[in-house]
């Protein structure tokens, strides 16, 4: 059996990475695709008082349990299923249950820092960076965090200025230089997503061909 194709999808917060990953998965519904999101690997802060959790810098690489993420990526590459943590953004803690992810011919890994982290990046065959204008990203983030993540306006703005923006400039944006492909206009770029899906299908086909 050939080793799966590992595709990394990075980009700033609310850039459309999740949408790109979802559209790729939908277009490859006839293939075995394993999906892992870096957000699920945030460290569990359930032992930290709630008021302190709100002050944590979640945009720094240290906020993630990268060891677990890398070990799960390796297991999937070796054809083993993993139990992915389930993260709760409202409490900044892990849920008691996990989510089983089966191995696939393609492994999609998506997250703000997946291209920054060398130990994650080195596992990838295809590296994508999803780009979107900063004004659109902050507007999307405001709406999402207030609607879905239990935050209020002042908290989103404060966190953005204190952590999100500086970490984006220090880690996320520079990781673009590792990308093979940069997708502009986030998840709305169906032409780029279609080209990516075509390229992934071609690589899978040539792998199958060489096994015959």
CA 22 – CA 35 distance, rounded (Å): 9
Is residue 40 part of the contact set for ligand C5P (CB under 6 A)?
no
Count of positions (residues) in the chain: 212
Residue 3: DSSP 8-state: P
Residue with Cβ nearer ligand C5P (14 or 204): 14
Residue with Cβ nearer ligand C5P (10 or 107): 10
Q: How are the residues of the chain apportioned to helix, strand and coil, as percentages rounded to the nearest 5?
A: 50, 20, 30
Residue with Cβ nearer ligand C5P (77 or 185): 185
Largest CA distance in the chain: 59
State how far Cα 36 lies from the chain centre: 7
Is residue 13 part of the contact set for ligand C5P (CB under 6 A)?
yes
Residue 102: DSSP 8-state: -
Is residue 173 part of the contact set for ligand C5P (CB under 6 A)?
no
Is residue 66 part of the contact set for ligand C5P (CB under 6 A)?
no
Per-residue string for binding with ligand C5P, 67-106, x by CB under 6 A?
Answer: ----------------------x--x--------------
Q: Enumerate binding residues for ligand C5P (CB under 6 A).
A: 13-14, 39, 42, 58-59, 89, 92, 112, 164
């Amino acid at each position: 059996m050939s080793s799966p194709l590992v595709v990394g999808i990075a980009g700033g917060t609310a850039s459309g990475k999740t949408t790109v990953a979802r559209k790729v998965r939908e277009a490859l519904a006839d293939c075995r695709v394993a999906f892992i999101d870096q957000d699920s690997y945030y460290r569990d802060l359930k032992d930290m008082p709630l008021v302190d959790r709100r002050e944590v810098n979640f945009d720094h690489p240290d906020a993630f349990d990268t060891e677990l993420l890398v070990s799960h990526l390796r297991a999937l590459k070796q054809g083993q299923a993993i139990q992915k943590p389930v993260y709760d953004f409202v409490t900044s803690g892990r849920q008691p249950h996990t989510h089983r992810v089966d191995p696939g011919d393609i492994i999609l890994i998506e997250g703000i820092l997946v291209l920054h982290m060398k130990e994650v990046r080195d596992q990838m065959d295809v590296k994508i960076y999803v780009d979107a204008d900063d004004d659109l990203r902050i507007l999307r983030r405001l709406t999402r965090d207030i609607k879905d993540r239990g935050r209020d306006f002042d908290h989103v703005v404060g966190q953005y200025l204190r952590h999100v923006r500086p970490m984006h400039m220090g880690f996320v944006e520079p990781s673009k230089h590792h990308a093979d492909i940069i997708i502009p206009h986030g998840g709305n770029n169906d032409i780029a997503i279609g080209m990516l899906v075509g390229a992934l299908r071609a690589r899978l086909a040539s792998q199958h061909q060489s096994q015959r």
